[in-house]
């Protein structure tokens, strides 16, 4: 009995000590914490990316140590809290660790630098809706005088549908690739369009690329890697860079104004965009998901957000 009481007392003291120790630790943690913030928040391949190690609770941080999980040598050590990738690419993916050291101690933050690689996957749009779409979380850094966009679609829709919708505040059809019927593509730049007639393809997917050059107005169109006769559209126009890009729905205002009767049903994949006109050889490389030159965004490293009912399937 006496022994039991002693045991209980000791246990209580132990718990108290434990609690005290824990709260002391928490107090220290409150004094100094670190986290890593990427700029821009949605990294784009082949563009500059910065990881910033932010610290609260200690204004006197003297040193930041940057490491990457799996590499033996530190990446950077010094007063700078930012790690800069001039041209962010596949080789940079991984887990980054920042250790900030100040007079109050150290704080450690980790960050998973990741982006979806959708090779061998497709977005499935299973039914007609007015609110299911994929938002492409990348856009050009500056207004475009030249561009190419490519994608693959697989559908048996006979009604009009949108494949690639690039809207700005000023112009909802800034860039639009759509199919008004199974034997026609419409390609819009700045609200005006040209038509490309194509054979109706049953039971196969279609790979299309469309390009535009402002100084000459020349539009090019490729179906399954084969170039169609060139046309012209919107000479000297400039495509705005502040855009929302959607797959599966056609925008009538920036980021919205969808119409179920123009929605896409089926599969879309292999989406790429470049800030220049491609050659037929380069179009064929994109068809094989082996793009060159570097795209603004591409299927190998595709930043996106799904809204509503869209599924990613292998
Ligand atoms: C990725 O960037 C590094 C520089 O950080 C460069 O050395 C490398 O060649 C690039 N790789 C690709 C595939 O572009
Ligand atoms: C656009 O393409 C034209 C024709 O190839 C070229 O002369 C011009 O430099 C390009 N402009 C930009 C900004 O890439
Ligand atoms: Ca529209």
**Residue 3 lies inside a defined structural domain of this protein:** no
Q: Are residues 94 and 232 in the same domain?
A: no
Q: Determine the pLDDT at residue 65.
A: 97
Q: Using the atom order of ligand 1, give the atom closest to the CA of residue 91.
A: 1
Q: Are residues 96 and 59 in the same domain?
A: yes
Per-residue model confidence as pLDDT tens digits over 14-40? 444 444 444 444 444 457 899 999 888
Q: Are residues 170 and 225 in the same domain?
A: yes
Q: Are residues 85 and 151 in the same domain?
A: no
Dihedral of alpha carbons 127, 197, 244, 121, sign: positive
Q: Among residues 60, 81, 113, which one ends one of the domains?
A: 113
pTM of the model: 0.70
Q: Determine the pLDDT at residue 29.
A: 46
**Residue 197 lies inside a defined structural domain of this protein:** yes
For the Cβ of 215 lying below 6 angstroms from any atom of ligand 2, the answer is yes
Among protein residues, the one whose CA lies closest to atom 7 of ligand 2: 215
Q: Determine the pLDDT at residue 174.
A: 98
Tokens 């292998």, residue located: 314
Q: Among residues 64, 96, 113, which one ends one of the domains?
A: 113
For the Cβ of 145 lying below 6 angstroms from any atom of ligand 2, the answer is yes
**Residue 273 lies inside a defined structural domain of this protein:** yes
Å from CA of 210 to ligand 2 middle:
16
- DSSP, collapsed to helix, strand or coil, labels residue 10 as helix
Helix (H) or strand (E) holding 147: strand 146-154
Q: Which of 43, 46, 51, 89 to mutate to test the pocket of ligand 1 (most atoms within 8 A of CB)?
A: 89
Return the closest-CA partner of residue 28 out of 62, 57, 60, 65. Answer: 57
Q: Pull the structure tokens for residue 13.
A: 């003291």
- How many structural domains comprise the chain? 2
Å from CA of 291 to ligand 1 middle:
15
Q: Determine the pLDDT at residue 116.
A: 76
What is the Cα–Cα distance from 64 to 249, expressed in whole angstroms? 45
Tell me how many degrees the CA angle 237-243-247 measures, rounded to the nearest 5. 110
Q: Are residues 233 and 108 in the same domain?
A: no
**Residue 12 lies inside a defined structural domain of this protein:** no
User: Closest ligand to 46 CA?
Assistant: 1
2 — pLDDT class (breaks 50, 70, 90): very low
CATH number reported for the structural domain that contains residue 140 in this entry: 2.60.120.200
**Residue 296 lies inside a defined structural domain of this protein:** yes
Q: Are residues 109 and 195 in the same domain?
A: no
Q: Which of 144, 213, 238 to mutate to test the pocket of ligand 2 (most atoms within 8 A of CB)?
A: 213
- DSSP, collapsed to helix, strand or coil, labels residue 197 as strand
Among protein residues, the one whose CA lies closest to atom 4 of ligand 1: 87
Q: Are residues 98 and 205 in the same domain?
A: no
Q: Among residues 113, 144, 175, which one ends one of the domains?
A: 113
Of residues 256 and 304, more confidence is placed in 256
Averaged pLDDT for residues 77-90: 91
What is the Cα–Cα distance from 184 to 196, expressed in whole angstroms? 6
**Residue 297 lies inside a defined structural domain of this protein:** yes
Q: Are residues 130 and 107 in the same domain?
A: no
Q: Determine the pLDDT at residue 42.
A: 65
What is the Cα–Cα distance from 180 to 276, expressed in whole angstroms? 26
For the Cβ of 213 lying below 6 angstroms from any atom of ligand 2, the answer is yes
**Residue 201 lies inside a defined structural domain of this protein:** yes
CATH number reported for the structural domain that contains residue 58 in this entry: 2.60.40.10
Give Cα 89 to chain centroid, integer Å: 13
Å from CA of 136 to ligand 3 middle:
17
Say if residue 4's pLDDT is above 80: no
**CB–CB of 238/144 below 8 Å?**
yes
Q: Are residues 81 and 127 in the same domain?
A: no
Per-residue model confidence as pLDDT tens digits over 94-122? 899 999 999 888 999 999 887 777 889 99
Q: Are residues 142 and 108 in the same domain?
A: no
Averaged pLDDT for residues 5-11: 46
Domain containing residue 155? 122-313
User: Closest ligand to 167 CA?
Assistant: 3
Residues 6+ apart with CB under 8 A from 89: 45, 46
89 — pLDDT class (breaks 50, 70, 90): confident
Q: Are residues 94 and 242 in the same domain?
A: no
HSE of 188, CA atoms in CB hemisphere, 13 A: 21
For the Cβ of 218 lying below 6 angstroms from any atom of ligand 2, the answer is no
133 — pLDDT class (breaks 50, 70, 90): very high
Å from CA of 150 to ligand 2 middle:
19
What is the Cα–Cα distance from 118 to 135, expressed in whole angstroms? 15
> What values do phi and psi take at 246, rounded to 5?
-125, 145
Lowest mean pLDDT, pick from 12-21, 173-182, 303-312: 12-21
**Residue 87 lies inside a defined structural domain of this protein:** yes
- DSSP, collapsed to helix, strand or coil, labels residue 182 as coil
> What values do phi and psi take at 88, rounded to 5?
-60, 125
Q: Are residues 182 and 291 in the same domain?
A: yes
Averaged pLDDT for residues 188-211: 96
Return the closest-CA partner of residue 189 out of 154, 169, 160, 218. Answer: 218
C-alpha distance from residue 251 to each of 128, 166, 306 (Å): 15, 8, 15
Q: How many CB atoms lie within 10 A of CB 58?
A: 19
Q: How many CB atoms lie within 10 A of CB 78?
A: 10
User: Closest ligand to 300 CA?
Assistant: 1
Tokens 């590499």, residue located: 71
């Amino acid at each position: 009995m006496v022994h039991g009481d002693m045991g209980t007392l000791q246990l209580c003291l132990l718990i108290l000590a434990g609690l005290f120790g824990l709260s002391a630790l928490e107090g220290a943690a409150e004094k100094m914490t670190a986290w890593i913030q990427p700029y821009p928040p949605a990294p784009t391949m082949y563009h500059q990316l910065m990881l910033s190690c932010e610290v609260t609770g200690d204004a006197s941080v003297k040193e930041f140590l940057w490491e990457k999980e799996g590499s033996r040598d530190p990446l950077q050590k010094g007063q700078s809290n930012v790690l800069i990738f001039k041209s962010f690419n596949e080789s940079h993916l991984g887990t980054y660790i920042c250790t900030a050291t100040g007079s109050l101690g150290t704080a450690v933050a980790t960050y998973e630098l990741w982006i979806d690689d959708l090779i061998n996957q497709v977005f499935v749009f299973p039914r007609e809706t007015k609110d299911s779409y994929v938002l492409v979380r990348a856009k050009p850094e500056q207004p475009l005088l030249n561009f190419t966009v490519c994608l693959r679609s697989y559908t048996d829709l006979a009604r009009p549908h949108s494949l690639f919708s690039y809207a700005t505040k000023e112009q909802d059809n800034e860039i639009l690739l759509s199919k008004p019927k199974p034997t026609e593509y419409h390609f819009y730049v700045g609200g005006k369009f040209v038509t490309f007639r194509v054979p109706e393809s049953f039971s196969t997917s279609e790979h299309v690329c469309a390009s535009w050059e402002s100084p000459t107005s020349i539009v090019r169109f490729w179906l399954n890697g084969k170039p169609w006769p060139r046309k012209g559209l919107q000479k000297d126009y400039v495509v705005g860079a502040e855009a929302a890009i959607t797959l599966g729905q056609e925008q009538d205002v920036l980021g919205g104004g969808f119409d179920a009767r123009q929605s896409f049903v089926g599969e879309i994949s292999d989406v790429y965009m470049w800030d220049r006109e491609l050659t037929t050889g380069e179009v064929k490389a994109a068809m094989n998901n082996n793009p060159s030159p570097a795209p603004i965004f591409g299927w190998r490293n595709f930043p996106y957000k799904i809204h509503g009912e869209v599924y990613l399937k292998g």
